[in-house]
Amino acid sequence: MMYLNKKHNLKKIDLRSDTVTLPTDEMRKAMSIAKVGDDVYREDPTVNQLEELGAKKMGKEAALFVPSGTMGNLLAVLTHCQRGDEVILEMDSHIYYYEVGGMSAVAGVMPRLMVGDKGIPEPHNIKLVLRDENLHYPKTTLICLENTHNRAGGTIIPPKLTQEICQLAHQRNIHIHLDGARIFNAAIALNIEPLLLTKDVDSVMFCLSKGLSAPVGSILAGSKEFIQRARKNRKMLGGGMRQAGVLAAAGIIALENMVERLEEDHKNARFLGEGLADIKGIEVDLETIQTNMVYFDLKKSAMDTFQFLPKLAAYNILGSPRPPTQVRLVTHYGIDKEDIDNTIKAIKEIVS
C-alpha cells in the first residue's frame, strides 16, 4: 500500500524544472494594463523599460528582450562570430547539449569542448584548448560560460573566477558570452549583486521565465553596438515580437519582486538533497546543491531512471530524467517545504 498516492496527494508536485512556474497575480494584472506599441519600430514603452532595467541589472549598456533563453544564446553566438569560427564551451553546457545544435546549424560555428570541474571551467583547462595562430586552424572568437551550470546541478562560477577567465580570453581577443539563464540564483546564493558576475563578460543572457516566474522571455545584454547587431539578427530569426509589452510587463515584475525569494528555493533544494542523501540506495552529491537543483543517482537501487519516474508520477510528483540512472528535481515558486517533505517520503517508499 502506498503511503501517498494520487488520492491522498491531490496537489501535483512538479519538480521537472523551474520553467513550469506560473505567472503571479501581480504579473497578470501588470500584463492586462501594460502600455504597448510595435516593438520592431522600438515603440513599445514596456519592452523599452524592461530592456533598460535588464541592462542595468547586468551592468551593460544595452539589452534585448528575446522569446527564449535558447534564442538569446544563439543570437550571442551569431552576433559574436563569423561562420567557420571556433567557439569554446564546457562539454556539458546547455548551449552544446540542449540547444538542438543551433550554434552549428544556424550560426555555422564549430564547437570545441573543454572539461569543467562540476561544470566550472578552470583557466588551465581553457588554456589547454586555446591554440596559437596557425594557417590550418579556425579562428577562435568566443568562449561560452554557464552560471549556474544546469547539468552539473546548478553550480556557481564565483566572480573572481569569471574575472580571471575573462582576462585570459580578452588578452587573446576572444569574447566571452555568459549563459546566465539562472544568474539571479547564483547572485542570491552568493549574496551579491548579479552585475558582479556579469560585468567582465562581453554578453550575458538571463531568463525571466524560470525561477523568476514570468510566463515568457529572456534578456540578452551587452554593449550598445553588440545589441544593435543582435537586434538585427533577432529580426532575421523571426524574433521581432511587435506588442511584446504584454509579456515584458511580467518580466519587469519578475526583476523587481521575484529575485529575493529565490533563497527559499535554495533552502528547499538543500532540505530535499539532505533528505534524499539519508535514503539507502540513493546517492546525492551534496556539494553540487548550491542553488535550486537536486540531482540524484539510482544506481545503487534496483531501478534505472525510466523505471523510477513513472513510480514517482504515481504519487503525482514529477522529475526530469537524466538517464541511465540519474534524476533531476528543481525547486521553484509554488513549491513549499511540505511538498519537499512529501517528495522525500514518496521517494523513500519507492526505493525501499
| Residues facing 14 on adjacent strands | 318
Give me the least distance between CB of 276 and ligand TLP, in Å please.
Answer: 19
* Amino acid type, 235: K
Give me the least distance between CB of 218 and ligand TLP, in Å please.
Answer: 6
CB distance 328 to 295 below 8 Å? yes
125 binds ligand TLP (CB under 6 A): no
| Residues facing 317 on adjacent strands | 13
State which of positions 129-148 bind ligand TLP (CB under 6 A).
146
Which H/E stretch holds residue 168? helix 159-171
* Amino acid type, 306: F
207 binds ligand TLP (CB under 6 A): yes
Going by C-alpha positions, the residue among 323, 287, 115, 94 that lies closest to residue 205 is 94
State which of positions 209-238 bind ligand TLP (CB under 6 A).
209, 218
CB distance 186 to 156 below 8 Å? yes
Give me the least distance between CB of 90 and ligand TLP, in Å please.
Answer: 11
> Could you give the CA distance from residue 173 to residue 158 in angstroms, rounded to a whole number?
23
Among positions 69, 154, 194, 222, the unique one binding ligand TLP when judged by CB under 6 A: 69
Residues in binding contact with ligand TLP, number by CB under 6 A: 15
Among positions 38, 98, 321, 349, the unique one binding ligand TLP when judged by CB under 6 A: 98
Instruction: Write the binding mask 9 to 48 for ligand TLP: x where contact by CB under 6 A, - elsewhere.
Output: --------x-x-----------------------------
In the bound state, the residue with its beta carbon closest to ligand TLP is 69
> Could you give the CA distance from residue 147 to residue 188 in angstroms, rounded to a whole number?
12
* Site for ligand TLP, rule CB under 6 A: 17, 19, 68-70, 73, 94, 98, 146, 150, 179, 181, 207, 209, 218
